[in-house]
Amino acid sequence: MADKPTKGLADVVAASTALSDIDGKAGRLFYRGYDIHDLAGRATFEETAHLLQRGKLPTRDELAAYGAELVSGRELGVLVSANISEVAEKQKPMEGLRTLVSLASADDPDRDSIEAEADLRKAARLTAQQPVLVARYHAARTGGSLPDPDPDLSIAGNFLLQVTGEHPTARQVEIFDACLVLHADHTMNASTFAARVCAATLSDMHSAIVAAIGTLKGPLHGGANEQVMKTLESLDPSQVAQSVRDKLAAGEKIMGFGHRVYKTEDPRATHLRRMSEELATASGDDTYYRMSKEMEEVVFETKGLYPNVDFYAATVYHYLGIPTDLFTPVFSISRMSGWTAHVIEQHADNRLIRPDSEYIGERDQKWKPIDER
């Protein structure tokens, strides 16, 4: 008798990858063999994207060349630019980004190729364009103006500039840059798996990224960070502990806690907690940070669950001035570096991903003409 299928494909190895690895018991995450604790706050997002997409941490010259490629690649094409206002009017942020990335494929000079060099070029363009798409979408829906990018700022710095309309401090840029590094890749998560399934059919990179964005949109994946902030905003700061206990007693899920892989604290949460505290103190109002700490203590005491990457990311983004409904789009900015790297890897050593299934429906049904049913 065949083994019973594993629900949700838990512990099923779906692909071989050299991009990232997790030690769930020890709570460790690695990008191409580098511990996330060594990268966060040290390697820039641009360096990390180069590491994932091109296999190594860049030299100064390589980083300069890659940076120039990102700057030239962030220019949006005619079709996507012409449709941003209408998309922003009719679609919510993640739906809009799904549409805009699909439209961007028509403007891409390598749209008809899945060759290795074309994939590398498209990966850089997608990584450069995603923060611009989020910022342009936000400006279109609010009727605001979009500041020109500052040539002295990184991807992280220019995104904060264009979304908030204010020049960020050096420390704000460092913190947001570290956030992008922390979210860049995470083994075979749902959106990455969706991208690889699409790429495995030898579909193009933009199609695979659209599949990933559609998957990230769900509240059980990328949408969790937005739900964390909404939960914090809904609570009375003086009644946090009791409110959380009541929710848990009623069987409600508290977003931002627990993880399918980590059996201890998510290593990304360690950095995000510290950054949330720093930004809260600098803001002069640490209410949401204090509420988060209290929630963390109650959930651990009651359920034994640790915070995951989404929990403290919510307050970090809030203190940086990012609107709550852009939290998941921000996730896509970072994860674009990992998604594109996985598509490159899938195309380089491809086999169609086609799992089996267990049939649980009726058998030996007898046909009846429509008048006898």
Catalytically annotated residues: 221, 259, 310
Taking the C-alpha atoms of residue 202 and residue 205, their distance in angstroms, rounded to an integer, is: 9
Cα dihedral value 95, 98, 103, 107, nearest 10: 140
Asked if residues 240 and 294 have their Cβ atoms less than 8 Å apart, the reply is: yes
Taking the C-alpha atoms of residue 52 and residue 65, their distance in angstroms, rounded to an integer, is: 16
Taking the C-alpha atoms of residue 309 and residue 31, their distance in angstroms, rounded to an integer, is: 16
E strand intervals along 224-275: none
29 has which bridge partners? 22
Give the Å distances, CA to CA, from 221 to 115, 156, 167, 255.
30, 22, 31, 10
Determine the residue type at 363: R
Contact partners, residue 7, CB within 8 Å, separation at least 6: none
Taking the C-alpha atoms of residue 207 and residue 244, their distance in angstroms, rounded to an integer, is: 40
Asked if residues 238 and 292 have their Cβ atoms less than 8 Å apart, the reply is: no
- Would you give the distance in Å from CA 313 to the centre of its chain? 11
